[in-house]
Structure 1
């Protein structure tokens, strides 16, 4: 009976491996399977590693950057970044640290499968899942940071950049965009950095070009706009187009502030200024509202920073609600999940422009995924010139024509500035 059960389990494992190959993008799962086979045969370059500790920290200032580091018994480490969600650092330190001790850090798919409960449900594996196919929240953010750190560690262990572990890059550099608070600032950024695009948004403006009507600074959601307020928003964007001309790609960020009718009116009236995209013209929790705006305007719609995992993006793709998706790999499940989201979007001819409000460490981690996905459009680099973010990481510089080179060093390819991190460490956390 025991032998029969073993044979059944092996068959189920085989079926799962084949499904992983199909669901993974660009051969990343195939690489993982090959690595496992080579290790079993004693022919792999991979060293034998065991996780000793997983430690997360939170810093003061600048959106409170959060990092996680994985330590191995053999002295090798990997570092990742996660964003936005309060509490994820405690989940890592109190739950994941215990859960991952003794695990092989190169078994990234196995670890993330356990995070999501797949092996417990399908293979009778250990009861170690933190949630069962959960969607968003601090658990998923914690998974995202740990998963990035695992890829960084794997790259260092094998002497390879992450993009090579994900199937190999199809571009050596990627275009990026930044934010501009006014046409004057936009002109300065374009003249100095030769950026490929800019994004403008009402909520980051605090000069004469802001719409000083008293509603945007309170960041009210679902706001119904008057005709004058719609006109103000459109004129705000028109000022950038007038200053920068049609040669500069411009995205309009609305941060899901408005109800369906307000978002639709803005999209219809801003068409004449040919935006690269309009981001979150309404909230991302109602697919049908986004579909209605898409079907009644001709501007490309973008969203994704508040959508999580393949399961979250699926209805937006199936209903053709978006022209561009913007997953944030630092909170939507990690780099591999981002790769799978991109592969799913590719089948619908939808472009990917990853959201990014992290430090350059997370930006470069996501950059490896941008290098390998065919349907990549552009990468967000919000804090390229913000010292609160840049001082925490080794210098990352754009090329002279506004592109960001894909790193070829092992792992992510950049390291934290330990002194700056220590200086801003919140007192309740132990330094990495």
Structure 2
């Protein structure tokens, strides 16, 4: 079998309604005449001379990654898609001259790698999880996003047993209100990845304040490049820490795992380097008793399928992030749409990934922009009067009121 071509499908996906997104309300005005927000999904298909087509999804910076895929395509034409590891290494070497893998390189390689696994599964007539060593579990638990008690209770009524909230403006009060609403039989996580990120000193104080609520984890409490800060938080508080969504490959996740700076590793299923790398990251984490909970908050449904296969096959799978009701078009983008019952999704059994996109539906939503300032001034994430500075990291002022609300 030989690869004959690569096709890309870029779409402007609907932005999640603020009530369904665990973050301070996002901006994104003017990004599209059709849909609010700036979220894009990028899918690709790899065609072969035997009529088998593999599908994948790329995330990170979809509009830019699409160009990277077409730049890499000549290196894959004529290759046998069965040799996934060798092709991964070939692409890695091809891009290293541009700098070590970042968002664009990781995202491009992810979609390609995902599609190669899909081809191999279809060629052999088995689901991808079988190629990864078989199933450890038949169903995958999921969590959804909730920033208000009303949203949390609606999620609980659907049988989902875990939620995540977010934002740095008023995190302790938000968690307290959610815990009071849902009781003790529902897990709560919180992510704190700004903007702006907290300083390590502020993060230590905040994470200690969150200890009484017995959280599933605190995610990205400080900037992802501040590994020494993670160690400082680790020593200061007894709350599970989670991170890793912004890094690609085993090389990007290595220090978080080997230094045991987190309890939960969160590689993004659309930009971590593909199923090949996700399986290796999971194995590294397993050796350090670290759980895997793939990030998928901004992803489309093909990457979700890939995550289901991975989590079915690894022993240290914890839970999958899922925004199943974020945009009505999600269901129409994928065939079939995975169904959840009581907060669990059945692992697909069809050959390969077991899904396809509706190309005609995807084409109805051309990309209209893919960057934005993440939060509006009204969200209150920045200290008063500093919004226009757009700081990456900021210490809290009025500390007594901030930490003792």
For CA contacts below 8 A with separation 6 or more, give which structure has more relative contact order. Answer: 2
Bigger proportion of residues as helix:
1
TM-score, L = length of structure 2: 0.80
Q: In 2, are the aligned partners of 1:136 and 1:332 still within 8 Å (CA)?
A: no
Query: What pairs with 1:224-243 in structure 2 (closer than 5 Å)?
Result: 232-243=170-181
Task: Provide structure 1 residue ranges, at least 5 long, that are not aligned to the other structure.
Answer: 1-48, 118-128, 203-215, 217-228, 428-432
Q: Which of 91, 98, 102 is the equivalent residue of 2:68? A: 91
The runs of 5 or more residues in structure 2 that have no matched partner are: 15-38, 369-405
Q: Deviations over 1:39-96 (max 9, x none)?
A: xxxxxxxxxx111101223112331110111011222111100112241111111x22
Determine if the alignment matches structure 1 residue 199 to structure 2 residue 191: no
Aligned residues of 1:57 and 1:425 also touching (Cα < 8 A): no
Q: Tell whether the 8 Å contact from 2:147 to 2:174 is kept in structure 1 after alignment.
A: no
Q: Alpha-carbon deviation of 1:316?
A: 1.5
**Does 2:268 align with 1:328?**
yes
Measure, in 1, the Cα distance between the counterparts of 2:60 and 2:91. Answer: 20
Q: What SS does the corresponding residue of 1:198 show, helix, strand or coil?
A: strand
Residue 170 of structure 1: aligned partner: 136
For the residue of structure 1 that corresponds to 2:193, the secondary structure is coil
Contact preservation (8 Å) 1:131, 1:139 = no
CA distance in 1: counterparts of 2:12 and 2:260, whole angstroms: 40
* TM-score, normalised by the number of residues in structure 1: 0.76
Equivalent residue, structure 2, for 1:68:
44
- Deviation at residue 414 of structure 1 after TM alignment: 1.5
Matched, 1:80 2:90: no
- The CA RMSD measured in Å over matched residues stands at 1.8
Structure 1 residues 388, 144: CA separation in 2 closer, same or farther (over 3 Å shift)? Answer: same
Name the counterpart of 1:151. Answer: 117
| Deviation by residue 1:334-392 (Cα, 9 ceiling, x = unmatched) | 01100100100111111111101312211011110111111111111134442243321
How big is the shift at 1:425? 3.6
Deviation at 1:291, TM superposition (A): 0.8
Alignment match, 2:34: none
C-alpha distance in 2, partners of 1:76/1:135? Answer: 29
CA distance in 1, matches of 2:331, 2:144: 14
Conserved 8 A contact 1:263-1:282: yes
The separation in 1 between residues aligned to 2:12 and 2:269, in whole angstroms, is: 22
Number of residue pairs aligned between Structure 1 and Structure 2: 340
- Which structure has the greater CA radius of gyration? 1
Q: Deviations over 1:146-179 (max 9, x none)?
A: 1001111111111110001111111111101111
Post-superposition offset of 1:418: 2.3
CA distance in structure 2 between the partners assigned to 1:168 and 1:134 by the alignment: 33
Structure 1 runs, 4 residues or longer, greater than 4 Å off: none
Match of 1:250 among 188, 201, 216: 188
Structure 2 partner of 1:109: 85
Residues 172 and 151 of structure 1: CA distance in aligned 2, closer, same or farther (over 3 Å) = same
In the other structure, the counterpart of 1:417 is: 358
Residue number in structure 2 paired with 1:266 = 206
